[in-house]
Amino acid sequence: MDSAKTYLDHEYVLTNKEFNLFRELIYDKAGIYMADTKKGLISGRLTKRLRHFNLANFGEYYAFVHSDTAGSEMQVLVDLLTTNETYFFREQKHFDFLRELIVKNYKPSHSFKIWSAASSSGEEAYSMAMLLAGELGFLTNWNILATDLNQQVLETAKRGLYPMSAAEKIPNEYLRLFCLKGCDQYSDYFMIEKTLKSKIQFQQINLNGAWHNIGPFDLIVLRNVMIYFDKETRKKLMSRIAKKLTRKGYLFISHSESLTGVSESFKCIQPAIYQLK
């Protein structure tokens, strides 16, 4: 490639061969299956990286991320191709269940541990922490592990700074107790209160990679993740999840997902709510 040539106005076209290369790559790195309909998504999200490195085509970018000079670019690629849609108190029935059936059975002499296994930018973990702090206080022995593959969204989660528009579903009492309104340049933002933050550990974990020194958990929340995995990957994941739960521990998935034909280790309590047999 001519190093003097620039591709700022170049129109990039993702060939089928290149699409298959990136589809295999994200499956290998994250277990995510990209259907044929995702070709446009891959093209749209990676084009900016081709322009950033002044590359001629997607094949050059694929070669670059595997090179010794790529640095952290492979993580950037994974971050770009992993979807992170979330908001505070998503799927209210899960929080109702957590309050009514789990929190009311909590024994102060025991610990209570939750794993938010695809926490994205932190809204899910902070929502559960608000509920637990509101019901149990801070002095009791509960904590949350919040993990994600995407390093960029984890940094957002650790910061705990969100636009005021994100507070729509947070109960007013929790807003008053656990959220601090910003001022000056942050007047349109709120920040999670530091004591609540201290009850959550944020960590990068690949669900299809190694899980070192975590668990067991009383509740694992894994919502809107399995829809991106093929059936074999889902089976393997559920087998590992079952081993990370306490006796009769609970698992929350999304209402668009099911464990039917995936795992026999769980019994369905309510739609999208399972308990270890």
Positions marked active-site: 45, 148
Pairwise CA distance, residues 123 & 119, whole Å:
7
